[in-house]
Amino acid sequence: MTVAFRSRGRNRPAVDTTDLADKGIHRDPTAHDPISSGGFAQKLVHRASALLSGGTSTRRSFLTRTAVLGSALAVGPIDFILKPGTAYGYICGACSEGWTAFCCTINSGKNACPPGSFIAGWWKADNAAYCCGAARYIIDCNASCPTQCSCRCTGASCDNRKTCCNQFRYGQCHQEIACYGPVVCRVATCTVPWKYDPSCTTSSATDNRTVNHGAPCLPTDCGSPIAQKYSELGGASGVLGPALGAEEAMGDGRGRRQRFQNGNLYWTQTTGAHDVRGSLLREYADHGGAFGGLKYPTSDTRITSDTSRRYNNFENGRIYSTVSGGITLAILNPFFSKHEGLRGSSGVLGYPTVEVKSSVDNASTYVSFANGRVYAWGSRVVEIHGSVFRLHEALGGVTGQLKRPVIDLAPVGDGRGTTQWFEGGMTWTTPTTLTQALWGDVLNRYVENGTATGYLKYPKGSLRNVGDARGTFAIFENGHIYASPTTGGHQVHGAVLTYFLAHGGPTGSLGYPTTELDPSGSPGGRFQTFEHGRLSYADGTVTPV
């Protein structure tokens, strides 16, 4: 068999002389490698190295030539051997082809989006040798707005493709970011994008023309998932730094771990490989690590969209750490699931401020957030936030009049207000009447009379004491409700209420109401009875009878 390598002569681009170790490329010694396994492939490397180098050979240039040829052999051994051409031409690509460069080429060897860009979309290439025959995923990193980059070729000796030129977006990732610039670079990974970054959806696009695209800084063997992730993060020169030991089994039959200078990598079959580092790792260890309540990480260390926090997701929760330092805390299920169901830190609760605590009544636990709290008791996990939370706290919290929340805040159904039910009472909120709390016989009567959809509409104040050591009352948009232990609660409204208040209310001559106003159409007019009298209402006039 004759293997031809077409020389590019004087016009052949120079070969990158960066050592593979500087690129953070580390091979799994147990994996099959067409370069190190000897025989025919090894002879090809030696033969190709002279052709690629123009006859000059050093250890560093040989290693780089080996990486280029090894990539070509790894991704398409039959095609490459049978078709004339160079390893450079097979994987490197030229600026004139129009494709965007890989991120590791322009991001200091890191197979990740560089600063000033974000993961915006992805496609896949099937049957990729880079991924041991599985699908390979190409993730676009689009420039953030305002865009700071300009269209150019990378100038790299291999992967001299474009950067900041292609104004295009597949759009399956970070759909909350509407403004975007051109594609800065591409990430290549064997991890499905929705596990690589939780913002990505599973909506798929395929372009098999990119299955063999490569660069020397991309790994050319399969390796273990942890080794692949380490390479994606920049290897020894990346965020994790040098390895402190070999990859090891966790001992639970599920996971594996490797320790590095600045953090750890964890892997399970279901979660994939993810890093945990810095203060997040210390908090993770305080919670028992993979054997504690959080279990294994399901995301890499990431930064929130408002750039104020770093975080890791785990099988059973999340850890937040302020970027400025000072606050690192974990939020575990069931609190984490409730928080996420309310749009997490961008929702009504905001960021957690205190980890789980026991309530003073020892009957519930809770996690505090910037704008509210989540309580867990019995089988319930309930949140309170905003003005309802502030009123609940002012009334004594779970040991006060309202006690523990029973349901989340809910719409009344009239397009105006919301309500929340507690063990000891209920709250009612509109923009005009604000948040008010009711309980006892006043609340019972309000419910019997149709609550906010009844005649009285919304309360304009919370329950108050009459001041006679007997009764309570509340003021509503269309009337009052008065209650005492002997009379129960009753509604007074309209002209009857005006007369009642003019005569001293419940502490005046009439005392507390003992009935409701008779229904319309009753013989002889309408009547309402009080402790010390009876009022008649007819044709807009109120008279005692």
CB 143 within 8 A of CB 182: yes
Per-residue pLDDT tens for 456-472? 999 999 999 999 999 99
Which residues does 153 contact at the CB level (< 8 Å), separation at least 6? 95, 160, 161, 162, 163
Is it the case that residue 30 has pLDDT exceeding 60?
no
Strand partners, 319: 312, 330
Is it the case that residue 365 has pLDDT exceeding 70?
yes
Cα Rg of the chain (Å, integer): 35
How do 136-143 and 183-189 pair as beta strands?
Answer: antiparallel
Q: Where are the domains of the chain?
A: 9-91, 95-227, 439-545
Which runs of E-coded beta strand occur in 386-521?
410-411, 418-421, 426-430, 434-438, 464-465, 472-476, 479-484, 488-492
Cα separation, 237 vs 23, whole angstroms:
8
The pLDDT assigned to 237 comes to 84
Per-residue pLDDT tens for 498-521? 999 999 999 999 999 999 998 876
Phi and psi at residue 502, in whole multiples of 5°?
Answer: -65, -20
Strand partners, 472: 465, 483
The pLDDT assigned to 18 comes to 28
Per-residue pLDDT tens for 206-259? 999 988 888 888 865 566 889 888 888 888 888 999 999 888 999 999 999 999
Is it the case that residue 158 has pLDDT exceeding 50?
yes
The single-letter DSSP state of residue 250 is -
Is it the case that residue 34 has pLDDT exceeding 80?
no
Is it the case that residue 16 has pLDDT exceeding 80?
no
Cα separation, 369 vs 399, whole angstroms:
20
What band does 539 get if pLDDT is binned at 50, 70 and 90? confident
The pLDDT assigned to 236 comes to 84
Helix residue spans in 385-482 (DSSP H) = 386-394, 440-448
Is it the case that residue 165 has pLDDT exceeding 90?
yes
The pLDDT assigned to 92 comes to 82
CA 110 to chain centre: 24
Is it the case that residue 29 has pLDDT exceeding 80?
no
The pLDDT assigned to 325 comes to 78
Is it the case that residue 63 has pLDDT exceeding 70?
no
The pLDDT assigned to 37 comes to 35
- Between 350 and 68, the higher pLDDT residue: 350
What band does 130 get if pLDDT is binned at 50, 70 and 90? confident
Per-residue pLDDT tens for 65-117? 555 555 555 555 545 444 445 555 567 888 999 999 999 999 998 999 999 99
CA 316 to chain centre: 13
What percent of the chain has a predicted confidence (pLDDT) above 70? 81
Is it the case that residue 137 has pLDDT exceeding 50?
yes
